[in-house]
Chains A and B, each alone.
Chain A
């Protein structure tokens, strides 16, 4: 049978509210960070990225904040919509020649209509 997976942290918000998803990364030498969205049955989909020489970057309805001092990333989604319901992963590039991308645990965002 299938293995029992870990319970993902879950954020439940009302449609129209703002969402904030947090992530702690592990490698202080990482210099590039990406947020991915994963819908059921699909691969990770790029949302927004940020490099270590920045502390904030904005996209359409999304903002990523980077705090290198405490190795923390956050993803803010404005006016959350039902279509935003998915698992969100932060990922960090370990750098070097391999461009190895390491994913965090993930947060399930549930948008209530």
Chain B
């Protein structure tokens, strides 16, 4: 069964550094998402992406965040200047249309 893959599985970075989290969504899917989960808390919506542009973003997704689909297979989340509070699991998801989102296993981001 096709799945969403995310790399790296764990990223450690220093405060103020830029990080790029990478995702390969399922190939025939049309909608792409990033979610965040702080340890022990619920999964929070960050951004949705469709037709090569952002469809919607949450208040968490401020100017330090950006997303890109640089080619036909990858979907990236960039955090320009990381803060301690950005430490979390970041999940990528994709969906064809009007069906359940498929999630990757996440990237654990640790900001020190």
The answer to whether B39 touches A98 (Cβ under 8 A) is no
| 0 or 1 for each of A1-25: is its CB under 8 Å from B? (1 = yes) | 0111111100000000000000000
Of B45, B87, B97, the residue contacting A101 (CB under 8 A) is B45
Asked if B61 CB lies within 8 Å of chain A CBs, one says: no
Asked if A45 CB lies within 8 Å of chain B CBs, one says: yes
Residue of B nearest to A39 (CB): B105
Asked if B33 CB lies within 8 Å of chain A CBs, one says: yes
Q: Which residues of A contact B104 (CB under 8 A)?
A: 43
The answer to whether B42 touches A98 (Cβ under 8 A) is no
Interface of A, helix, strand, loop or mixed by DSSP: loop
Asked if A65 CB lies within 8 Å of chain B CBs, one says: no
The answer to whether A44 touches B43 (Cβ under 8 A) is yes
Chain B count of residues within 8 A CB distance of the other chain: 30
Residues on B lying within 8 angstroms of A by beta carbon are 4, 31, 33, 35, 38-45, 48, 50, 55-56, 85, 87, 91, 93, 95, 97-98, 100-106
**Extra A-B contacts (20), CB below 8 Å, given A46-B100, A100-B48, A101-B93:** A2-B39, A3-B87, A5-B38, A5-B40, A5-B41, A38-B43, A42-B105, A42-B106, A43-B4, A43-B103, A43-B104, A43-B106, A44-B91, A44-B103, A89-B43, A98-B55, A99-B98, A101-B33, A101-B45, A102-B45
